[in-house]
Amino acid sequence: MATKILVTDDISQAGLDILSGLEGAEVVVRTNLTPDELKEAIADADALVVRSQTRVTRDVIDSANKLKVIGRAGVGVDNIDLEAATRRGILVINAPDGNTIAAAEHTFAMMISLARHIPAAHRDLLEGNWNRKKWVGVELRGKTLAVLGMGRIGTEVAKRAKAFGMTVLGYDPFLTEERAQSLGVKRCDLDTAIREADFITVHTPLTKETHHMIDAGRIAQMKEGVRLVNCARGGIIDEMALAEALQAGRVAGAAIDVFEQEPLPIDHPLRRCPNVVLTPHLGASTVEAQENVAIQVAEEIVHVLRDDTFEHAVNLPSLSQRQKERLAPYLALAEQLGLFAAQLAQGAPSSMTVRYAGDASDPDGGYLTRTVLKGFFSFQYDGEVNYVNAFRYAEDAGLRVQEVRESRGRIYTNEIEISVATDNGTHRVTGTVLGEYGPRIVELDGYPIDTPIQGILIYTRHEDRPGMIGRIGTLLGDRDINIAGMQVGRRETGGEAVMLLSVDKSVPQDVIDEIAKHPGIRLVRAIEL
Ligand SMILES: NC(=O)C1=CN([C@@H]2O[C@H](COP(=O)(O)OP(=O)(O)OC[C@H]3O[C@@H](n4cnc5c(N)ncnc54)[C@H](O)[C@@H]3O)[C@@H](O)[C@H]2O)C=CC1
Ligand SMILES: O=C(O)CCC(=O)C(=O)O
């Protein structure tokens, strides 16, 4: 069956060509869909590509039966329900820097237009007037610009403002003094930026913290005659408070590209305010930016669908090829250990501790723990759990997950150990990657063992007395279950012993029940990897 890539907003042809180049791909472009049409179109799609217009709601995501990835040809992913995508294990990727310059240049165009009344003077002239006195503006040189959000776009805006002779104040929790100095920006807190600026421009994402970051209270702290610019996201500035301040003349002007509701409603008060420059979300609308983001997102979609490395995932830490290669053997071990632990533990799990030691002490963004959880929950939810949603399954199960890292293994050069506490007690399994022998179990519930972590296994804990192993062997033989390998371990003679049998076929539950009934057997598990 063809791989269906659904594109629901206009993206540049260069991106479509890359998508069509994927072997077996069918690229379906359908724009301006109603929510119901979108739900129908997405049902059999493997990938979805959008800009900012398509609203990818939970409802839409839940209508997708095999969607692997949503690609956003641009930066902001606020039109995509990230939580719903993550829960369904759908990767969300964006194109974070393809439109940076376009957005920074648009911000500047807006700021200058505002300072020099260009749109209003233009309109006035077209109406037959020649009002040179009416449209006297202000210079940028010598003014103070506050940039709220010094990420990619904020930084480019700051650089351009310096070239215009402005003093630039930068507010961003992640702006270091060193970076501020290298950009010639004065790092400050939000209150200072708000109080001291002649122009304020916002360049943050829209989050709980930034929603109405500029509200009536903040506007009241600003200089009389301040000018505001928003080319980031509608909702960072409270539009009603802004409209009132513009009408009152407290704010001298505002240049706004993005709105709380898009398209901007016909009767919106900002449309009737003096000294506004409004554009319909054009920040990224340049030929170059649209080509950049379309290419960037299309390449990433192709990488994801081909199972290659990708860089710009929003809901999964990205791994470089080098990191992927370094982690590869441990990924296999971690997943098998997770699957093993799920079958070993049984009962409702309440907490899990994963210990990484030596070469496995994963500094690369907790990827291995995702893998352990993927294995652990796959046992119960086959085919539904992946790297994207593994932590969500843990959250939903109420499983507290803790990571411990040790620079050296206790016995081996690399070790991964999983301890799971359930209402039935705690179990522990430790594994290592042993060169060409691959992933192996090396300890089970505190008993030393050495066996490949693969195939069908029977694990018992029993009294260490003669005849136990023989009886289990006979029972399996009677049921035509061949034993391919056997490991036993104990701490002391006559105490408790463990046995891990590798068998050639699945063990029916009634055989396990029968083994469990044997006197001296304390625990028995069938484990399939
Ligand atoms: N109008 C348009 O067409 C376009 C709009 N955008 C929007 O512009 C915004 C910025 O984009 P980029 O610079 O690429 O993103 P970015 O991720 O590079 O930068 C965002 C910055 O905001 C900072 N930030 C986050 N929360 C903050 C807070 N509470 N206070 C202060 N700073 C905070 C972050 O530390 C980061 O440095 C985004 O909202 C994006 O969606 C981007 C491209 C085009
Ligand atoms: O796709 C667009 O034109 C909007 C771009 C944008 O807002 C973004 O990249 O965050």
Per residue in 176-201, pLDDT (tens digit) is: 999 999 999 999 999 999 999 999 99
Pocket test residue of 56, 75, 231, 279 for ligand 2, highest count of atoms within 8 A of CB:
75
The tokens describing 246, both together, are 């513009």
Structure tokens that stand for 303 in this block = 């990488």
Q: Is the pLDDT of residue 363 over 70?
A: no
* Structure tokens given for 440: 């192996």
Q: Ligand 2 centroid to 234 CA: how many Å?
A: 12
In this structure, is the dihedral angle defined by the CA atoms of residues 78, 84, 86 and 88, taken in order, positive or negative? negative
| Residues flanking ligand 2, CB < 6 Å | 51-52, 74-76, 99, 281, 283-285
DSSP class of residue 12 equals -
Ligand 1: residue whose CA is nearest its atom 14: 152
Residue 480: strand, helix, or coil: coil
Rounded-to-integer distance, Cα 432 and Cα 411, Å: 10
CA distance 268 to 254: 15
Residue 43: strand, helix, or coil: coil
CA distance 202 to 225: 17
The predicted structure's pLDDT at residue 402: 96
Active centre residues (catalytic)? 233, 262, 281
* DSSP secondary structure letters along 343-386: HHH-S-EEEEEEEEEETT---STTHHHHHHHHHHHHTTSTTT--
Q: What domains sit in the chain, N to C, each tagged with a CATH number?
A: 3-97+288-305 (3.40.50.720), 100-278 (3.40.50.720), 317-452 (3.30.1330.90), 455-529 (3.30.70.260)
Measured in Å, residue 76 CA sits from the centre of ligand 2 at 6
Going by alpha carbons, the residue nearest to atom 41 of ligand 1 is 76
171 lines ligand 1 (CB under 6 A): yes
Task: Please work out whether the CB of residue 232 comes within 6 Å of at least one atom of ligand 1.
Answer: yes
Q: Looking at residue 250, what is its pLDDT?
A: 97
Index of the ligand 2 atom closest to the CA of residue 73: 1
Instruction: Check residue 467 and give its pLDDT.
Output: 87
Q: Is the ipTM of this complex over 0.95?
A: yes
End-to-end CA distance of the chain: 29
Q: Which of 390, 351, 388 is nearest to 374 (CA)?
A: 390
State the distance from the centre of ligand 1 to the C-alpha of 150, rounded, in angstroms: 8
In angstroms, rounded to a whole number, what is the distance separating the alpha carbons of residues 510 and 475? 11
> CA angle, corner 177, sides to 173 and 182, nearest 5?
120
Residues β-bridged to residue 523: 461
Question: What's the confidence (pLDDT) of residue 424?
Answer: 82
CA atoms within 13 A on the CB side of 452: 13
Whether the Cβ atoms of residue 226 and residue 197 lie closer than 8 Å to each other? yes
Identify which ligand lies nearest to the alpha carbon of 281.
1
pLDDT of residue 220: 98
Residue 23 DSSP code: T
Residues forming beta bridges with residue 237, ordered by sequence position:
214
- For residue 181, how far is its CA from the centre of ligand 2 (angstroms)? 29
Nearest-CA residue for ligand 2 atom 3 is 284
Do 35 and 59 contact (CB within 8 A), yes or no?
yes
Q: Which ligand 1 atom lies nearest to the CA of residue 257?
A: 1
**Residue with CA closest to ligand 1 atom 26:** 204
Ordered strands of the 496-503 beta sheet: 483-490, 496-503, 456-463, 521-528
What band does 4 get if pLDDT is binned at 50, 70 and 90?
A: very high
* pTM, rounded to two decimals: 0.89
Return the best residue to mutate from 80, 204, 257 for the ligand 1 pocket (most ligand atoms within 8 A of CB): 204
Residue 347 has pLDDT above 90, yes or no: no
51 C-alpha vs ligand 2 centroid, how far in Å?
Answer: 6
Distance CA 258, CA 281 (A): 5
- Answer yes or no: is the C-beta of 480 below 6 A from any ligand 1 atom: no
- Identify the residue whose C-alpha is closest to ligand 2 atom 1: 51
Mutating to test ligand 1, I would choose from 51, 53, 75 the residue with most ligand atoms within 8 A of its C-beta, which is: 75
Instruction: Give the SS3 label for residue 15.
Output: helix
DSSP designation for 505: S
pLDDT at 365: 64
DSSP state of 447: E
289, amino acid identity: A
> pLDDT, tens digit, for every residue of 227-259?
999 999 999 999 999 999 999 999 999 999 999
Look-up of token digits 């920040």: 283
Q: CB–CB of 76/55 below 8 Å?
A: no
Q: Where are the alpha helices (DSSP H) in 168-270?
A: 177-183, 190-196, 216-221, 239-248
- In the predicted model, what is the mean pLDDT of the chain? 95
The SS3 of residue 254 is strand
Exposed (0-12), middle (13-18) or buried (19+): which is 441, by Cβ within 10 Å? buried
Q: Using the structure block, give the residue that is written with the tokens 């039966």.
A: 65
Query: Which of 160, 203, 231 to probe ligand 1 with, by most ligand atoms within 8 A of CB?
Result: 203
Q: What's the 3-state SS for 121-182?
A: HHHHHHCCCCCCCCCCCCCCCCCEEEEECCCHHHHHHHHHHHHCCCEEEEECCCCCHHHHHH
- Angle at which helix 390-397 crosses helix 367-378, to 10 degrees, equals 60
Q: Is the CB of 230 under 6 A from ligand 1?
A: no
DSSP 506: P
Nearest CA to ligand 1 atom 23: 149
Mean pLDDT in residue range 472-476: 92
> Inter-axis angle of helices 100-115 and 152-163, to 10 degrees?
50
User: What is the rounded CA–CA span in Å between residue 432 and residue 422?
Assistant: 24
Q: Is the CB of 76 under 6 A from ligand 1?
A: yes
284 lines ligand 1 (CB under 6 A): yes
Residue, of 127 and 317, whose pLDDT is higher: 127
Mean pLDDT of 498-511: 94
For residue 497, count CB atoms less than 10 angstroms from its CB and return exposed for 0-12, middle for 13-18, buried for 19 or more: buried
Q: Is the pLDDT of residue 335 over 70?
A: yes
Q: Could you write out the three-class secondary structure of 380-446?
A: CCCCCCCCCCHHHHHHHHCCEEEEEEECCCCCCCEEEEEEEEECCEEEEEEEEECHHHCEEEEEECC
Each residue's pLDDT tens digit, 365-422: 678 999 999 999 999 998 889 999 999 999 999 999 999 999 999 999 999 999 999 9
At 438-467, the pLDDT tens digits run 999 999 999 999 999 999 999 999 999 888
60 Cα distance to chain centroid: 19
